[in-house]
């Protein structure tokens, strides 16, 4: 029997990427099919991150250093043999479902409940493992996590979303934001960066803008649910005037993440608003500007026919 080119098999199997039962049946046909199907099955776990069997496989993939972070919590590690395939090689995105999966499965860890400290330790261990093994990993979701414990340098990450709920202390927010900034200094592959409910502050805003200036690949920036004052607006405006890579900018007041608590609309004063308006008029690369659910007090209408504005 003639064999199809691998590209043809990929196109066929991709039609079943949301049907795990059918994909698994195809993977059992022979080794060739298995090698094509497994990357498709594992590329985007999403809600599968909440599956106890998946979490067990992840725990079996931890190395000694990553396991050490969990020793103080006296958790029960899985005892079955390590999988023959390193499935985490195929994962392309870490979503919020991973956080839910850990919080909803206390029995898996030999606990009556998953406390905040224990949850954070598990998440940091798993994220470090994903960054170490994820040869295909592109998108990373970080919520209420100390970014000083992770390192995205020399990884394949192209998109980072940082979420800091309103219940998090200001001290922790400053510390984790500093950790992310240190990571961004050493990252040359990041194309998309989003902040949700994060009060950046002028000092850290200046550091971020400096990083943005040095980036030649960042093309999408999202600022959701936190106030931007006059000084922040002027800093962002200066960046927009000089930047030559950004094509998408989101300054929106809401994002559909349940746990961030009180939603804060961006609040640009007249000075900051005027500065950004001028910056947008001079920017020549933006093709999409999103101002939905916002209370920005100016009406932007640059003479840019290729610029889509959502308000």
Q: Give percent of the chain with pLDDT exceeding 90.
A: 27
Helix (H) or strand (E) holding 159: strand 159-163
Show Cβ contacts of residue 259 under 8 Å, excluding neighbours closer than 6 positions.
Answer: 143, 163, 165
Kindly report, residue by residue over 231-258, the tens digit of the pLDDT: 777 888 888 888 889 999 888 766 654 4
pLDDT above 50 for 302: yes
Kindly report, residue by residue over 97-110, the tens digit of the pLDDT: 998 888 877 777 76
CA distance 23 to 41: 7
Confidence of residue 303 (pLDDT cuts 50, 70, 90): low
pLDDT above 60 for 265: no
Q: What is the mean pLDDT of residues 20-36?
A: 88
Residue 164 pLDDT: 87
Residues 98 and 230 in one domain: yes
Confidence of residue 270 (pLDDT cuts 50, 70, 90): low
Pick the more confident residue, 91 or 223: 91
CA distance 105 to 42: 21
The residue count for the chain = 311
Residues 10 and 105 in one domain: no
Q: Please give the DSSP secondary-structure letter assigned to residue 290.
A: E
Residues 158 and 260 in one domain: yes
Pick the more confident residue, 282 or 138: 138
What is the pTM for the complete model shown? Answer: 0.85
In terms of Cα–Cα distance, which of 143, 141, 117 is closest to 130?
141
10 Å CB burial of residue 4 (0-12, 13-18, 19+) is exposed
Arithmetic mean of pLDDT over the chain: 83
Residues 20 and 54 in one domain: no
Residue 301 pLDDT: 57
Residue 273 pLDDT: 64
Q: What is the CATH number of the domain that holds 192?
A: 3.80.10.10
Confidence of residue 170 (pLDDT cuts 50, 70, 90): confident
Quick one: tokens of 44? 């985007």
- CA distance readout (Å), 60 to 20, 78, 80, 207: 22, 7, 8, 38
Residues 24 and 86 in one domain: no
Residue 260 pLDDT: 40
Confidence of residue 267 (pLDDT cuts 50, 70, 90): low
Q: What is the mean pLDDT of residues 9-27?
A: 87
Kindly report, residue by residue over 110-139, the tens digit of the pLDDT: 666 778 888 899 999 999 999 999 999 999
Residues 220 and 273 in one domain: yes
Overall domain count for the chain: 2
Show Cβ contacts of residue 94 under 8 Å, excluding neighbours closer than 6 positions.
Answer: 127, 130, 137, 139, 140, 141
Residues 52 and 38 in one domain: no
pLDDT above 60 for 259: no
In terms of Cα–Cα distance, which of 199, 202, 204 is closest to 181?
204
Of the listed ranges 25-34, 112-121, 179-188, the least confidently predicted one is: 112-121
CA distance 201 to 174: 9
Q: Which domain holds residue 83?
A: 45-310
Residue 157 pLDDT: 95
pLDDT above 60 for 261: no
Residues 37 and 76 in one domain: no
Q: Give percent of the chain with pLDDT exceeding 70.
A: 86
Q: What is the mean pLDDT of residues 165-190?
A: 89
Residues 150 and 167 in one domain: yes
Pick the more confident residue, 298 or 166: 166
Residues 70 and 81 in one domain: yes
Kindly report, residue by residue over 39-50, the tens digit of the pLDDT: 888 888 888 888
Kindly report, residue by residue over 63-100, the tens digit of the pLDDT: 999 999 988 888 878 888 888 888 899 999 999 999 88
Residues 37 and 50 in one domain: no
Residues 100 and 9 in one domain: no
């Amino acid at each position: 029997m003639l064999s199809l080119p691998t590209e043809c098999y990929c196109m066929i199997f991709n039609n079943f990427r949301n049907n795990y039962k059918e994909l698994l049946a195809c993977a059992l046909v022979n080794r060739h099919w298995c090698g094509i199907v497994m990357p498709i099955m594992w590329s985007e776990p999403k809600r599968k991150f909440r599956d106890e069997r998946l979490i067990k496989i992840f725990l079996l993939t931890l190395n000694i250093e990553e396991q050490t972070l969990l020793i103080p919590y006296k958790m029960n590690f899985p005892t079955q043999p390590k999988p023959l395939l390193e499935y985490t090689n195929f994962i392309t995105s870490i979503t919020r479902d991973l956080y839910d999966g850990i919080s909803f499965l206390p029995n898996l860890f030999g606990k009556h409940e998953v406390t905040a400290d224990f949850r954070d330790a598990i998440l940091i261990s798993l994220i470090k493992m994903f960054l170490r093994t994820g040869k295909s990993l592109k998108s990373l979701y970080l919520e209420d996590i100390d970014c000083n414990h992770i390192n995205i340098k020399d990884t394949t990450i192209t998109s980072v979303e940082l979420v800091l709920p309103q219940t998090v202390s200001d001290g922790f927010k400053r510390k984790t934001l500093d950790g992310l900034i240190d990571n961004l200094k050493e990252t040359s592959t990041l194309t998309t960066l989003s902040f949700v409910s994060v009060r950046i502050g002028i000092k850290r805003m200046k550091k971020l803008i400096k990083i943005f200036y040095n980036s030649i690949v960042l093309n999408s920036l999202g600022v959701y649910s936190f106030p931007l004052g006059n000084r922040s607006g002027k800093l962002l405006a200066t960046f927009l005037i000089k930047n030559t890579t950004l094509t998408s900018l989101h300054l929106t007041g809401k994002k559909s993440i349940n746990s961030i608590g009180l939603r804060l609309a961006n609040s640009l004063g007249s000075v900051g608003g005027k500065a950004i308006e001028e910056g947008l008029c001079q920017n020549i690369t933006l093709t999409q500007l999103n101002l939905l659910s916002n209370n920005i007090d100016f009406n932007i209408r640059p003479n840019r026919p290729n610029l889509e504005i959502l308000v």
